[in-house]
Amino acid sequence: MKKQRIGFMGMGIMGQAMAQNLLRHGFPLTVFNRTAARCAILKELGAKVAASPRELAGKSDVVIVMVTGPEAVYALLAGEKGCARALDETKTFVNMGTVSPAYARELAHAIEPLGAAYIDAPVSGSKKPAEEGQLVILAGGDKARVKALEPVFLAMGRAVVHCGGVGQGSMMKMAVNMLLATMMQGLAEAAALARGGGLPLEALFAVLAAGPMQCGLFGLKEPMLKRRQYPAQFPLRHMLKDLRYVVDAVQEAGTYAPLAHAALNTCRAAVSRGLGDADFAAVAELVRSLSQSQED
């Protein structure tokens, strides 16, 4: 069966890895990035590099966008060289970046007159799962179209969850990232308490790994907290952006979420201290700095 032609825009931490996995699975791939140099590795691996979003969309059946927010998505769509000029009823536009559910619905409404199908499909996972093709795809939109895209999604991830109509993939992303942020803050506070109470971090993580609180997140962040080094898998500034979307979604849904607001405030304070480009686990450094009993 002939594989769909994929256009992929956004060669950031996640996008490069996801695009490489599409190539490994044999999909014809065209890429675009505002900073063209970031496409070099994809070109070496066999991808075509488009000069504009419009050119990319013209050469693709499925247009995937993996950028940081609404402004970046709009920049790829709009203008004489924007991909909107080449979207029609033969194409599917997939936004895999994190945006608010309200914006996902707004984007679908804007694309509808062009004839193209719209799917919002943010992902659960960070740099390492992206590199290993182990992301979880959170898809919102027409169920049959999501099913048709499964071979594409499964080239980048290990599971596809259909969350409902347009915008519901983004709503699921809000729920997942809210939990992720609050778990990380809880781990940071537990680590500070352990240190302050004279416990070694090795013992804390051994207990977590041995019991019902065992989870991949804690295992992934353990070396960061022990070494106090936070190479970015998911930058803190991106978590801050996402948490702003989360609290907006909470307000829209009318739910009670004090932990989400606390996590937002913690991330904001950590970014203000220059930790924005570090992994979001660097909130542990903020907690540590504010804890009276922590050693230098």
**What pLDDT, in 10s, does the model give residues 225-250?**
999 999 999 999 999 999 999 999 99
Which of 173, 221, 226, 241 is catalytic? The answer is 173
Confidence of residue 2 (pLDDT cuts 50, 70, 90): confident
User: Is residue 44 within 8 Å of 16, Cβ to Cβ?
Assistant: no
Taking only the tens place, the pLDDT of each residue in 50-77 is 999 999 999 999 999 999 889 999 999 9
Domain segments of the chain as ranges: 6-165, 172-289
Which residue, chain included where needed, has tokens 């050693």? 295
Q: What angle do CA 8, 159, 248 make, to 5 degrees?
A: 70
> Which residues lie across from 32 on neighbouring strands?
9
Q: Do domains 6-165 and 172-289 have the same CATH topology?
A: no
What does the DSSP 8-state code read for residue 52? S
Catalytic (active site) residue 81:
no
The domain made up of 172-289 is a member of CATH 1.10.510.10: no
Q: What are phi and psi of 159, to 5 degrees?
A: -155, 150
CA-to-CA dists, residue 114 to 58, 69, 89, 147, angstroms: 13, 22, 7, 22
Q: Distance (Å, rounded) from C-alpha 102 to C-alpha 252? A: 9
CATH number for the segment(s) 6-165:
3.40.50.720
Residue 256's Cβ-side half-sphere holds a number of Cα atoms within 13 Å equal to 0
| pTM beyond 0.85, yes or no | yes
Using pLDDT thresholds of 50, 70 and 90, give the confidence band for residue 292: confident
